[in-house]
Structure 1
């Protein structure tokens, strides 16, 4: 496989146009652009990260529209995910807004979520998570994920970590947007550094999301 050389400008242009014309006709007319400017660089990127982080799943570009109100057929970004546990791991994507990296768990069974909340409520483990999140948000990461509007059952609304306890999923993301680095081989080292930086969060989840 060819070495990663960055995502070309054509990748951003492709997704800009796809957001305007999300049709089979556009896709078929521009399939070679997707293959060469999006799919091939993504495969090369995750292949070079595989030795350290593991094998990535590169998501299909097609949307599942069976139960969706939005019937547009194609995703407006290309993502890849390295699973380290159930729905837990490392993520990278390219789309019209540029490049974004992420880590965390995007969904959890009731048993795993209960285990995570128990660890958050624990004084020692909860404090560890708070420190990890403080370090990463200071380094430019943004905490996200689905949350409850109220306190989860069994927890007091006045709990000092109630904001974390409300999470049903928990992710950290960092945008590189249109930074010049995304078009260069140096993006590989940047994604590697980002994932390494956020590994303490992934490890915390893996240590405590057990049922």
Structure 2
């Protein structure tokens, strides 16, 4: 199937450069059409191509224009893997940035996450996944408490993970010449493959969603 995404044109960076700082509403509106065509539409095309390559990435959204100038300077999109477990993409003057995220959790999700981390088998599995991502150059971040939550000893072997109220694995892809070509789709797909064990663990243990061919 022919790819829809042909790359972000060089002019996309020119548009974003004109929107830096705190552009007035009139200035933003003056560049709205160019930004839609040169910046936002390529993100939609990239995610369409990603969904064509793997149906797991079919459920996606690409943000439009909002009042805050930040949203005009950064084009964001997400691919929903399960509730609050997503692949997050951002295109801006620094190029493309991709993250695997579990964020904005509901209380029940947070409780399931902590129970899974505290369990030796499931918790050690997540430790292995996180360490593998670190070895590939991913930074592990999130909303982190100063100490483990109530009910868990401060010397718990996985106390660092227990302190997380969100969990993010992120890596900037940059903005080399490839970003102006179809190669960007393959870069994003490769990153998604890196993140798949991380996102699958979260989907299974935070949302209790098992693969269709997996054990019930």
TM-score above 0.5: yes
CA gap 1:185/1:73 in 2 versus in 1, 3 angstroms: closer
**SS of residue matched to 2:15:** helix
CA contact (8 A) 2:46 2:185 kept: yes
CA distance in 1, matches of 2:70, 2:94: 19
| Residue range with higher mean Cα deviation, 90-99 or 199-208 | 90-99
Residue aligning to 1:54: 58
2-structure distance, mates of 1:24, 1:74: 13
Q: Counterparts of 2:45 and 2:69 in 1: how far apart (Å)?
A: 28
Contact 1:107 1:169 in 2 (8 A): yes
Aligned to 2:11: 10
Give the one of 123, 126, 134 matched to 2:123.
126
SS in 1 for 2:148: coil
Aligned equivalent of 2:144, options 144, 147, 154 = 147
Q: How far off is 1:73 after superposition?
A: 7.3
Q: Which runs of 5+ in 2 are unaligned?
A: 209-216
CA root-mean-square deviation: 1.9
The normalised TM-score by structure 2 is 0.87
Task: Give the Å deviation of 1:12.
Answer: 2.6
d(CA) in 2 for partners of 1:149, 1:13: 42
Contact 1:43 1:58 in 2 (8 A): yes
Q: 2:206 aligns with which of 199, 205, 209?
A: 209
Question: Cα offset for 1:13?
Answer: 2.9
Q: Deviations over 1:55-101 (max 9, x none)?
A: 211112214xxxxxxx6474431111111211112121101221101
How many residue pairs were aligned? 204
For 2:200 and 2:73, the matched residues in 1 are separated by 30
Per-residue CA distance 1:162-211 (angstroms, 9 max, x = gap): 11111111111110122222122101011011101110000000110147
Equivalent-residue separation in structure 2 for 1:41 and 1:30 (angstroms): 16
